Amino acid sequence: MDRFGCSAGALVIIALALAGTAYCQPSSDSLEIADLIRSTEHERLRALVEADMEVAHQLHADDFQLINPLGGVLSKEQYLGGIASGELDYLVWKPDSIEVRVYSGTALIRYQSQLEIVVGGQNARRGRYWHTDAYEKRNGQWQVVWSQATGIQ
């Protein structure tokens, strides 16, 4: 035991934990990537609200999937097709602060937003939602691959 009452094993665990904390600090590269992901998500939301399908197609991976607040699964074709046809019409999508975690070739984001959407001609009341999305860097471009929205009661 040392003067703080810690065994040698406990000191090793503390040292490893401190080393891990230092190792996990974001690098300047990951901070730049986080800012890029935030701006990409803002651009994606703008494209969805304005039905800018050219930009929306670029920012969604071919194997994109959305889990909507009702638990339904939509592919890229179903989701963007619904927006292009007007079946899904985002009237408002205002994100709060977007939290970003960057890993090698992958970024995870989470945020709350105010959202108002018309689905099949039925206007859903404006509400608050949690969003969790996974981005991957593919062919030099960040694209969203998974997205999940959860309503906040």
CATH of the domain at 86: 3.10.450.50
How many domains is the chain built from?
1
What residue ranges in 14-105 does DSSP mark as E strands?
A: 60-67, 73-75, 88-95, 99-103
Domain range for 111 is: 27-151
Q: Which two tokens stand for residue 17?
A: 């934990």
Q: What pLDDT does residue 15 have?
A: 47
The answer to whether residue 7 is domain-embedded is: no
pLDDT at 90: 97
**Could you give the 3-state DSSP secondary structure of residue 69?**
coil
pLDDT of the chain, 153 residues: tens digit per residue = 544 454 555 444 444 444 444 445 556 688 999 999 999 999 999 999 999 999 999 999 999 999 999 999 999 999 999 999 999 999 999 999 999 999 999 999 999 999 999 999 998 878 999 999 999 999 999 999 999 999 998
98 in a domain, yes or no? yes
Answer whether residue 42 is part of any domain.
yes
Is residue 22 one of the residues assigned to a domain?
no
Task: Return the pLDDT at 16.
Answer: 45
Asked, for residue 13, whether it belongs to a domain, the answer is no
The answer to whether residue 6 is domain-embedded is no
Nearest to 106 by CA among 59, 132, 149, 138: 138
- What local confidence, expressed as pLDDT, does residue 27 receive? 62
